Amino acid sequence: MEKYAWKGKIVDGALDEYVKRHDAIWDEMKKVLEEAGIVNYTIWNVGNELFGYYECLYGIEHATRVQRESPVVDKWNEYMKDILIMEMDPETGAQPQLKKVFSFK
């Protein structure tokens, strides 16, 4: 199973709203994540920084393609743009993937 990690930033003072929106994530967005084969998805925060991690049941290429082609993801990104600073990878249309530099067991 391939692993995917990304980073982003929250607009100053918007952490509570960011958490609130994710606590109420749309059912249609959950379905896209499931279709993409995304599991064990977790987002962490420190200050204004975010770190996200998920595993891809069907590979990273499948997960990024499903998200890139989804109008629901486009709608979610539009919904989040007032509180989230996210640079998208122009090749994949997803958050830029962090490169793994260390792994233990």
**Dist CA 37 CA 32 (whole Å):** 9
Q: Token pair 């792994």 is at which residue?
A: 103
Q: Residue 22 catalytic? A: yes
Say which CATH class 2-85 falls into. alpha beta
The position carrying tokens 């420190």 is 46
- Taking Cα atoms as reference points, which of 53, 40, 43 lies closest to residue 22? 43
**∠ CA(87), CA(69), CA(9), 5° rounding?**
20
Rounded to two decimals, the pTM is 0.88
Q: Strand 38-46 relative to strand 49-56: parallel, antiparallel, unpaired?
A: antiparallel
94 and 88 Cβ atoms separated by less than 8 Å:
yes
Q: Label residue 98 by pLDDT band (50, 70, 90).
A: confident
The 3-state DSSP class for residue 58 equals coil
Q: pLDDT tens across 4-62, in order?
A: 999 999 999 999 999 999 999 999 999 999 999 999 999 999 999 999 999 999 999 99
Q: What is the pLDDT of residue 105?
A: 82
The answer on pLDDT for 94 being more than 90 is: no
Taking the C-alpha atoms of residue 45 and residue 7, their distance in angstroms, rounded to an integer, is 10
Please give the residue that has the higher pLDDT: either 97 or 59.
Answer: 59
User: What are the tens digits of pLDDT across the range 64-91?
Assistant: 999 999 999 999 999 999 999 988 777 7
The two three-digit tokens of residue 92, written as one number: 């994949």
Catalytic residue among 20, 22, 30, 75: 22
Domain residues of the chain, as ranges? 2-85
